[in-house]
Amino acid sequence: MKKFKKFLLLLIILPCIMFVSACQQQPYVMDLFKSNSIGDMDVYTIKYSDGSIATFSVGNKTEDNQITIEQIWEAYKTQVGDISFEDFLKLYMNTDYSQDASKLATQKAMKSAVTVYANVGQSYYSCGAGVIFDMDDEFAYIVTNYHVISNGGLNALNRFFINLYGVNSNISASYVGGSYSYDLAVLKCNKATILQHNPDACAVTIANGYSVGETAIAIGNPNVSGFSVSKGVVNVDSEEFNINEDIIVPLNLRVMRIDTPIYQGNSGGGLFNSQGQLIGIVNGKCTAVAESEAANSPLTPVDNIAYALPIDNVIKVINNIMFYNKTEYQLAGVKTFNMGVQVGAKNSHAVYDGEFLQIEEDVVVANVQNKISGLDLQRGDTIKSIKINGNFSKITRTFQFLELMIDIRSNDDVELNIVRNDEEKTITFTANNNNFSIAI
């Protein structure tokens, strides 16, 4: 984390005239000063243009009595509201905000990053990376790729270990559950042991979403050399990634494409935005493309085409794995609801909301395969939204509809809003346990 000595604080106490003219409603910083000292803590006060104030404390026993820009940023947010670190630096700091934001994001993300090692069977050794996805009173839960810990299968001889940044900890971990089809797995290890090795270790912060052009910072374990960081941007927000060579069962995954440099050993590691929030799990890269569709077509090497599993789907899959491990002791696969229909996309177009340019499409029922009691869907219906136990989700992409099937549990109340022959209709039904299947 970059530290700014006191004389640099002069850079942030000047009113930002350009900011005020652009956004008259948001208070800006008028002054910042040390207002009190209590024991080994110094109290700093920020005065804002609307007359309000905010305070924060800094230990005065630290080297050179330094404070960090992150502390000022956090104090600013409590008073004014949420603002990204980059925007804060743009407004108030005479510095290279993009470089400082990336440094801060990396330091934040490293607290939840791990390297993962697996003894698969008696002879094969596999390695990759992962993130501390969640912590409860007893355990820390690690998310990684299924292919990192399985090598095609799991048995009683498997043993797993994780390392934290800066510590050769070799903390023992146990398998919770996973899915080959979604290439995600969950391990757990003792929380107290993790905090003993690194008291600052914590669960990752989850991003609300991501967009094309956004910073993409990968933290992994390339070539079993320990932690390493690389940086790029999101190139494509959603596409299909097909794997059909050197594996037993072909895979078809939804991924985001990135140009972040990715190496062998990055698999399972986190992909983070410029605020250190998780936007995906790295799972592969493209090294060459065929010159034609013909068999044995020559391959042309390519650079900087890599893939990550998007955070919105990662959350659904991990929650599913955790839920069924606790309720049904399920160790393999993701249990999904089958609504008995195939859907397709029509009228794809780009929509700009003032901040992001997003693709939207009409999600239309293409075929009704199995009639489900209470579910009166017909070919040509446009699905506009879904409520699961009252939780509303707008449907603007086909993958959103398909991935919401991962969220549905047995006996959930489900409500669909559709358009049929230019008229809106609401369909409600209860999810029956007979309509679920497991994707191994």
- 375 by DSSP, 3-state: which? strand
- 112 by DSSP, 3-state: which? coil
For the purposes of burial, counting CB atoms within 10 Å of the CB of 419, is it exposed (0-12), middle (13-18) or buried (19 or more)?
middle
pLDDT digit string (tens) for 128-152? 999 999 999 999 999 999 989 886 5
Tokens 């797995």 -> residue: 185
Tokens of residue 185, six digits: 């797995």
Residue 24's region, left for phi above 0, alpha for psi from -120 to 50, else beta, is alpha
Residue 199 CB partners (closer than 8 Å, separation 6+): none
DSSP codes, 293-320: SSTTPPEEEEEEEEEEEEHHHHHHHHHH
User: pLDDT at position 293, please?
Assistant: 64
User: pLDDT at position 32, please?
Assistant: 67
Q: pLDDT tens string for the chain (440 positions)?
A: 333 322 222 222 222 323 333 334 456 566 666 777 777 777 777 776 677 777 766 666 555 456 666 777 777 777 677 777 767 766 665 545 555 667 888 888 999 999 999 886 665 678 899 999 999 999 999 999 998 988 656 665 678 999 999 888 889 999 999 999 999 999 999 999 999 999 999 999 999 989 999 999 999 998 878 899 999 999 999 999 877 665 667 788 999 999 999 998 899 999 999 989 999 999 988 877 766 666 676 777 778 899 999 999 999 999 999 999 998 888 889 999 999 999 999 999 999 877 778 899 999 999 998 778 778 899 999 999 999 999 999 999 999 999 999 999 999 999 999 999 999 999 999 999 899 999 88
Considering the entire predicted model, what is its pTM?
Answer: 0.78
State in words which class domain 333-439 has: mainly beta
- Parse the chain into domains and list their residue ranges: 3-95, 113-197, 215-313, 333-439
Can you tell me the distance from the alpha carbon of 252 to that of 239, in angstroms, rounded to the nearest whole number? 10
Can you tell me the distance from the alpha carbon of 74 to that of 18, in angstroms, rounded to the nearest whole number? 22
Q: What is the CA radius of gyration of the chain?
A: 25
Tokens 């939204």 -> residue: 385
For the purposes of burial, counting CB atoms within 10 Å of the CB of 226, is it exposed (0-12), middle (13-18) or buried (19 or more)?
middle
Can you tell me the distance from the alpha carbon of 401 to that of 399, in angstroms, rounded to the nearest whole number? 5
pLDDT digit string (tens) for 280-336? 999 988 877 766 666 676 777 778 899 999 999 999 999 999 999 998 888 889 999
CB distance 289 to 283 below 8 Å: no
CA–centroid distance for 34 within its chain: 38
Domains 215-313 and 333-439 share a fold: no
Tokens 């991962």 -> residue: 406
Q: Which fold has domain 113-197?
A: Thrombin, subunit H (2.40.10)
Bridge partner residues of 33 (DSSP): 45
Which CATH number is 215-313 given? Answer: 2.40.10.10
Can you tell me the distance from the alpha carbon of 404 to that of 400, in angstroms, rounded to the nearest whole number? 6
Residue 438 CB partners (closer than 8 Å, separation 6+): 330, 332, 333, 334, 335, 336
Can you tell me the distance from the alpha carbon of 101 to that of 91, in angstroms, rounded to the nearest whole number? 13
